[in-house]
Amino acid sequence: MDLGYDPPETFRHALGQLHDTVIAETGRDDFGTADYLPGLTVLLQSMDYDPRFSEQGRRAAWGMVVGVLRGRVQAVAAMKANPGFDAAPVLSPVVITGVPRTGTTALHRLLAVDLRFQGLQTWLLDSPMPRPPMARWAEYPQYRKTLAGLDAQYAALPDARAAHFRAAEEVHECCMLLRQSFVSNLWSCGWSAATYDAWWQCQSEAAAYSHFARCVRLIGMNDPDKRWLLKNPGHIAHLDLLLAVFPDARVIQTHRDPGKAVPSLVSLLMNMNGLMEPDRKQQRAENLLRREVAKWANAVEKCEAVRARYPGQVLDVVHTDFHARPMETVEAIYRFIGMDIPEETRAALHRRIEEKPELSHGVHRYSITDYGMTADEAREPFRAYIERYDLLETRA
């Protein structure tokens, strides 16, 4: 999130200004195929109509849109500068997915200690390019820009560190590339965006997945023999599109009691919402919880239907099992993806498990009752899913 841009008086009339801002900043005017324009146009219209931005929120929201479009133009420029970037196939990538807040991030970062994998580092999601040697990252202005942006975000939202900490050099989610096509669930999460959300619900994300797959090949072109480790909760809603671009992917789907997971997600999202819109907090939280319950209940059933067409390509990991027996879970994953665990890697995995770095930024505390719903009400649309994977948690 870039807080350094003055927003226009009206967003819906600022499409040209937006492009001019990115062109002036990057010196590039090729935004790739025009499939991103319908979503961007609806998003800008929605930004005038739906949210009640604070002045700080208007500035932050505009900075986010500028930053994502800047990332798109940088990706296109890097592709043009590196002909043949997509020549090497992406062989059997390991992809972690599942309803948000089901342990996808912890599992992703745990497996990422295995240096035989390559991933999507946060700063390269902001500025896609062939991944340079790690020792040189600090030389890149794009890396320093991501560092500064994260520092500004956590200064404005200190509670976000405990809820979902990100670092420029760590692996992050595929959705940050998918949103560069402006047909993305993420644009309905940062502020009130009912108009955009209604439009997005009726769209295909096929073009976004095509762009995403090209960016993966671009970022990894210097390491063609390293296996990809990817992660994105939203893939469960679009597993067919993921497997269309990476047909031999090995998918790990995490599962957790939705009565715990979905309110945790809403608590995380409301941290951002509080910066953007100071008013109607209770109403927005209640609306958001109902929206997220419906969205992810639909997503798990869509995923189940696609999984049936790809037997043997998805491994299930239940959140409580992962927490109780993490190394057993890791060993099952390595068997599933057909890799061994060298002793040095095993030791690194054990150290990460013991250190629990996810807890070093504080404890994320929330209560579903703050959002006008009980845990049982949140579970109801997931009834078949909960029974399928035996997910009901009754402990406090």
Nearest to 292 by CA among 271, 319, 265: 265
Alpha carbon of 276 to those of 17, 149, 153, 163: distances in Å?
A: 22, 16, 12, 17
User: 313 vs 95, 221, 336, 338, 379, CA distance in Å?
Assistant: 10, 25, 9, 12, 27
Instruction: Return the pLDDT at 162.
Output: 46
Which is it for strands 250-255 and 314-318: parallel, antiparallel or unpaired? parallel
The pLDDT of residue 155 is 73
pLDDT tens across the length of the chain (396 residues): 565 689 999 999 999 999 999 999 999 999 999 999 999 999 999 999 999 999 999 999 999 999 999 999 999 999 999 999 999 999 999 999 999 999 999 999 999 999 999 999 999 999 999 999 999 999 999 899 888 887 777 676 666 544 445 688 899 999 999 999 999 999 999 999 999 999 999 999 999 999 999 999 999 999 999 999 999 999 999 999 999 999 999 999 999 999 999 999 999 898 878 889 988 889 999 999 999 999 999 999 999 999 999 999 999 999 999 999 999 999 999 999 999 999 999 999 999 999 977 655 555 566 787 888 999 999 999 999 999 999 997 654
Residues 6+ apart with CB under 8 A from 378: 258, 259, 262, 263, 289, 293, 368
Q: What pLDDT score does 395 carry?
A: 54
Please state, in angstroms and rounded to a whole number, the distance separating the CA atoms of residues 61 and 50. 13
Please state, in angstroms and rounded to a whole number, the distance separating the CA atoms of residues 82 and 90.
17
User: Under DSSP, is residue 317 helix (H, G, I), strand (E, B) or coil?
Assistant: strand
pLDDT of residue 2: 61
- pLDDT given at position 134: 92
Q: Which domains does the chain have, with CATH numbers?
A: 15-389 (3.40.50.300)
CA distance 267 to 273: 10
Residue 55: left (phi > 0), alpha (psi -120 to 50), or beta? alpha
Is the pTM of the predicted complex or chain greater than 0.95? no
Q: What is the C-alpha to C-alpha distance for residues 180 and 211, in angstroms, rounded to an integer?
A: 8
